[in-house]
Structure 1
Amino acid sequence: MNTTIRPAGGLCLPDKCRVTLLALGDVGSTLLMGLRLLGGDVIRSIGICDVRPGVSERWEFELNQIQSPDAAALPPVDIIAPEQLFDGDVFLFCASRMVPDTSVTSGDVRMAQYGLNRELAAVYARMAREKNYRGLFCVVSDPVDPLCRAAMRESGLAPAQVRGFGLGVMHARALYYARRDGRFASYLTEGRAFGPHGEDLVLANSVAHYDDALSRELTDKVAHANLEMRRLGYKPYVAPALSSGALSLLALLRGQWHYSSVYDGQVFMGCRNRLTPAGIETEALTLPPALQKRLDETRAKLNTIE
């Protein structure tokens, strides 16, 4: 497998990171549980912040009472003020000013949040700049990829310091459908996910044996899986918080391959990558023309979002 390594822009993370997390809503609190339970090898401690009264206190109280029978070391959770969010190594932006309720069962739910969430992300991006922040600024809120570019532009952070976490769940959903429908079985061993966490997602059933019609069908099912959950009357946040959030972030910190959004010189787009001492390593795949065309179209659409 060929790879491409992009310089990490001076980013240097310690073996065990101080993680800070903004906003403990459905996604933020679920992500926090994943980090507390699974992150003891790469996370030193977790600082949490939520502007709503009592919310941070609730989660500090609950999370620090989780302990395995063998007394394994789990990263402690502490409450921090907003001005302390950039005193760590990894900042997780999970805040949102608008999350559509379960009555919304059609349309691009993720992009509907962009305007308000962009303003909110800009506030914390400027705070990162004022703090001369040297760590990772990680976007988990929707729409992930456009918010990454907005945060980078507002903060002046190096591109390698900004990372988006939305594609992991799209890959996981593709695996789910591939296990249930034999037509998509090639995705289980050869599939790849690219692009944003949303309508312009690009899934490939296989890179070596690409089937455009099959890949587009799988992409459509995965891109709208969130609406299926909404039709059941629930918000689709558990799998995103864990597959895109906690598990992907931990893989990044461990130097493992995972799905997240990185800057390609124009836009942030999700792809399979890992963080190495030399920088961000991404797969350099030889793509069939039909798949490359889909990626070019997605990149062009992302580039129009300001």
Structure 2
Amino acid sequence: MKRSYHISEVPAAIGVSELLRLDYNPLCRKPKKVHILALGDVGMTMLLGLRLLGADVIQSLGICDINTNNTERLEMEMNQVRYPFAGTADASYPMLPPVGIIDEASLFACDVFIFCASKGVPPVGVVGDVRMSQLEANLELVRHAAALAGEAAFKGLVCIVSDPVDPLCRAFFMESGLRPAQIQGYGLGVMNARACYYAERNEAYSRYLTEGRAFGPHGQDLVLADSLSEYNDVLSRQLTGLVVHANSMVRELGYKPYIAPALSSAALSILLTLRGQWHYGSVYLGDAGNGAYFGVKNRMTEQGPVYEDAAVCSLLYERLKQAYVNLAELPWK
């Protein structure tokens, strides 16, 4: 029996024999013009994180929303968030990237496009994994944006933040005609952060902090491994269950769980991408017509995105394979 497997072998489960190469770098120009579509709770919080922390890699932030009062308010308030004395001769503080209002026609006149649009976000009081309930409504929105990207012959990076991240990434890829390396999903970062939260509070899961990994989708099929080298299936599944239901615990307190996703999955992970550093995100594993965007540790290089093709044991591989197959079977149109 084979002792170990690799992430790159998972697509064989759906008959993919040769993976599309992720050999395109959509982030050639520095610093980046970043445009954001839709600024609800997640988009607004992410915008704040990008402005505060992204001065080294972001030239400007363009915002677009159907609610013009919202964009006008955010243009004022975000540009009023700044360091004192920035830009003066005696200051060492950075000038933060300016925030400006853009229209739909200008969405893809940028280097990085971030999709935060969402329909039918479940209200406070709804418990359980609500992400998949948004798939049908958000597919319509992502297809519209993908068509605009295709018409603009967009050459930059598309960041999908809206739920469910992974099938929306595939829909954007299939509908836009863009290269698979141009699209990445940002939902796994917060799952890793939540795993760390629980690992810090329970010694049984503490190995995750130094040896663990997160894989797969931002939802029920999430796969956490407490350790790559000494994987414990029982502990890993227990930790995965805690993390998957963490958003329900916030909802039970009467709040929408958007702060950690907006910062850990979106703002911080997108900035790491722009800097070419390791982060969690969903990249395409498949061929031209069959595959899925799958969450892994990855980074952007001059040749394109590179993911950690980790060696895993058979028990962990079976979990990864099932999560990938489930993603591949989800509708994207």
- Tell me the TM-score normalized by structure 2: 0.89
- Which residue identity lines up with residue 326 of structure 2 in the other structure? K
Max radius of gyration: which structure? 2
Q: Is the 8 A contact 2:215 2:295 kept in 1?
A: yes
Which digits, 9 at most, give the CA deviation of each residue in 1:197-223, with x for residues without a partner? 000000000000100010000001001
Asked if residue 289 in structure 1 is aligned to residue 314 in structure 2, the reply is yes
SS of 1:229's partner is helix
Asked if residue 64 in structure 1 is aligned to residue 79 in structure 2, the reply is yes
- Which residue identity lines up with residue 241 of structure 2 in the other structure? D
Q: How does 1:164-175 map to 2 (within 5 A)?
A: 164-175=185-196
Asked if residue 139 in structure 1 is aligned to residue 164 in structure 2, the reply is no
Pairwise CA distance, 1:7: 3.4
Q: Is the 8 A contact 2:25 2:301 kept in 1?
A: no
Q: Structure 2 regions of 5+ residues with no counterpart?
A: 1-5, 9-19, 87-93
Match of 1:258 in 2: 279
Which digits, 9 at most, give the CA deviation of each residue in 1:12-35, with x for residues without a partner? 431210000011100000000000
Q: Is the 8 A contact 2:187 2:217 kept in 1?
A: yes
Size of the aligned set, in residue pairs, is 304
- Which residue identity lines up with residue 194 of structure 1 in the other structure? F
1:246 to 267, 270, 276: 267
Q: Is the 8 A contact 2:58 2:97 kept in 1?
A: yes
CA 1:214–1:268 in structure 2 vs 1: closer, same or farther (change >3 Å)? same
Pairwise CA distance, 1:10: 5.4
Instruction: State how far apart, in whole Å, the 1-side matches of 2:153 and 2:221 are.
Output: 34
2:182 to 161, 164, 170: 161
Asked if residue 195 in structure 1 is aligned to residue 220 in structure 2, the reply is no
CA 1:186–1:7 in structure 2 vs 1: closer, same or farther (change >3 Å)? same
Instruction: State how far apart, in whole Å, the 1-side matches of 2:249 and 2:123 are.
Output: 14
Match of 1:303 in 2: 328
2:99 to 60, 73, 77: 77
Deviates more, 1:69-78 or 1:183-192: 69-78
- Tell me the TM-score normalized by structure 1: 0.97
Match of 1:220 in 2: 241
Match of 2:91 in 1: none
Instruction: State how far apart, in whole Å, the 1-side matches of 2:7 and 2:303 are.
Output: 12
SS of 1:104's partner is coil
2:47 to 19, 32, 39: 32
Instruction: State how far apart, in whole Å, the 2-side matches of 1:285 and 1:96 are.
Output: 33
Match of 1:120 in 2: 141
- Which residue identity lines up with residue 252 of structure 2 in the other structure? R
Instruction: State how far apart, in whole Å, the 2-side matches of 1:88 and 1:8 are.
Output: 21
Instruction: State how far apart, in whole Å, the 2-side matches of 1:60 and 1:51 are.
Output: 14
Instruction: State how far apart, in whole Å, the 2-side matches of 1:285 and 1:302 are.
Output: 20
SS of 1:46's partner is strand
- Which residue identity lines up with residue 270 of structure 1 in the other structure? G
Asked if residue 206 in structure 1 is aligned to residue 231 in structure 2, the reply is no
Match of 1:110 in 2: 131
Q: Is the 8 A contact 2:24 2:303 kept in 1?
A: no
Match of 1:274 in 2: 299
SS of 2:312's partner is coil
Q: Is the 8 A contact 2:25 2:305 kept in 1?
A: no
Pairwise CA distance, 1:3: 11
Which digits, 9 at most, give the CA deviation of each residue in 1:273-294, with x for residues without a partner? 0000022111121101000000
Instruction: State how far apart, in whole Å, the 2-side matches of 1:10 and 1:201 are.
Output: 27
Q: How does 1:48-63 map to 2 (within 5 A)?
A: 48-63=63-78
Higher RCO (CA-CA < 8 Å; seq separation 6+): 2
Q: Is the 8 A contact 1:6 1:280 kept in 2?
A: no
Moved over 4 A (4+): 2-6
SS of 1:267's partner is strand
Pairwise CA distance, 1:70: 4.9
- Which residue identity lines up with residue 81 of structure 1 in the other structure? D
Pairwise CA distance, 1:38: 0.2
